[in-house]
Amino acid sequence: MKTLKERKSAGYDYLKKITAVDYATHLEVVYIIYNTTTHAQEVVKAKLPAERPSIDTAIGVYRAADWYEREMSEMFGIRIKGRAAKRLLLEEWNGVGAPLKKDFTWGKEDYDKVL
């Protein structure tokens, strides 16, 4: 990511999105980066194990990675190495489990809060 941002011929200077995908056997983190001069776009993917997934933070390269990484951590259970902020995005949620993983099941107490 750092190389793609700093390379003069590429210069991907804008982070459009980071998201994750659960394939049950593994997780994939997807980064969409953009060059504001040439309007070129690149997709960078990182494959993570399904059990105890972790990846280094991208905040040092793209400051905008902050909220996306918090979301991935909370929703997919991905540990982001090098992150200082641990506060949950969803304050009403108890923070147990990873709601966007395929193996996640909502408990009755979660449904009762919504209804």
Q: Which residue has the higher pLDDT, 112 or 101?
A: 101
Chain segment 18-73, per-residue pLDDT in tens? 999 999 999 999 999 999 989 999 999 999 999 999 999 999 999 999 989 999 98
pTM of this prediction? Answer: 0.82
Q: Mean pLDDT of all residues in the chain?
A: 85
Mean pLDDT computed over 1-17: 82
Q: How confident is the model at residue 105 (pLDDT cuts 50, 70, 90)?
A: confident
pLDDT attached to residue 3: 80
Q: Which amino acid is residue 39, in one-letter code?
A: H
Residue 81: give its domain's CATH number.
3.30.460.80
| Coil, helix or strand at residue 34 | strand
What is the number of domains present in the chain?
1
Name residues whose C-beta falls within 8 Å of residue 35's C-beta, 6 or more positions apart in sequence: 10, 11, 12, 13, 14, 41
> Domain range holding 24?
2-114
Cα distances (Å, whole numbers) of residue 22 to 35, 51, 101: 28, 11, 6
